[in-house]
Amino acid sequence: MNQITLRANAKINLSLDIIGRREDGYHLMDMIMQSVDLCDLVRLEKGTDIRVSLLSSDNGSALSIGENNTAHKAAAAFFRYTGLPGGVSVQLTKHIPQEAGMAGGSADAAAVLIGLDKLYETGLSRQEFLDIGVTVGADVPFCLVGGTARVRGIGENILPQPMFGFGHYLIVKPPFGISTPLSFKRFDTMDSCRRPDNDALLAAMASHDLPQMQRVSANVLEQAAESPEIEAIKQRLRSLGAGFSLMTGSGSAVFGLFAEKEAAAQAAEPLSDCGRVYLAAAAPAGVQVADFS
């Protein structure tokens, strides 16, 4: 096998809590996360060095990307860990919105690690993947596993849960981003906030009880963002029929979970004035093979 194309699935947070802080400054998380089928395409081909390019969906041209890109970092981490000679040419076709809290860069990095493992037949274990992934980014371990999971620590402690495939997600990405470092700094100065009850959330997910999910879930970074626009989008999603709505990650994307696909699709047009709108369903994995040769 010389080349492989993978789907790098986005993630959403069904909850997000911060429960502490390590001495090195990293925040300790407790989150319920879900992969969705909104994805980037990541094409890998064996090479002699590491090259990453972004393929334009408009004209098919490729723009070279530097070493700070997470896909490049993941490839470098793979070859450093395995000690293998060689390289890879990575071509990214982006569909996951940026500055959205949907782990687009981390999903690409996870796809690079899984793709390289297949191309070079290294047979890495799940723990080896996680150990490499967390050095690239905090969301990379979840993106390597995907599906439905409770995520703890700084993102490296993945506890897979029964697949939550119920309903359809309407995701709204407003035209502004939210600074992740600033959101964490704001959280650190907050006296109190509404926190999720993740045990109750998992129970509500098991019974597909969207109103109960709304009652027991929360995203503390959404509260730290203090954005009236985010709250307005949530309210509009609810008014259009979403049973559960929340900002994902550090934002700025907001999702509404609808029981029926038709209802989610019908709500898309009224929300188009809020930003870019995406319809998605749950995905069983963070990375899926699309093609190989």
77: three-class secondary structure by DSSP: helix
Query: What is the torsion angle, in degrees rounded to the nearest 10, for the CA atoms of residue 20, residue 133, residue 128 and residue 152?
Result: 20
Please say if 139 is a catalytic residue.
yes
10: three-class secondary structure by DSSP: strand
Catalytic hit among 11, 73, 94, 234: 11
Kindly report whether the peptide bond that precedes residue 252 is cis, defined as omega within 30 degrees of 0. yes
Q: Report the alpha-carbon distance of residue 203 to residue 129 in Å, rounded.
A: 29
User: Within 10 A of 58 (CB to CB), how many other CB atoms are there?
Assistant: 6
Please say if 11 is a catalytic residue.
yes
Q: Where are the beta strands (DSSP E) in the chain?
A: 3-21, 27-47, 50-55, 62-65, 87-93, 148-153, 157-160, 168-173, 244-247, 254-258, 276-280, 287-292
Catalytic hit among 17, 40, 108, 139: 139
Would you please indicate which residues are annotated as catalytic (active-site) residues? 11, 139
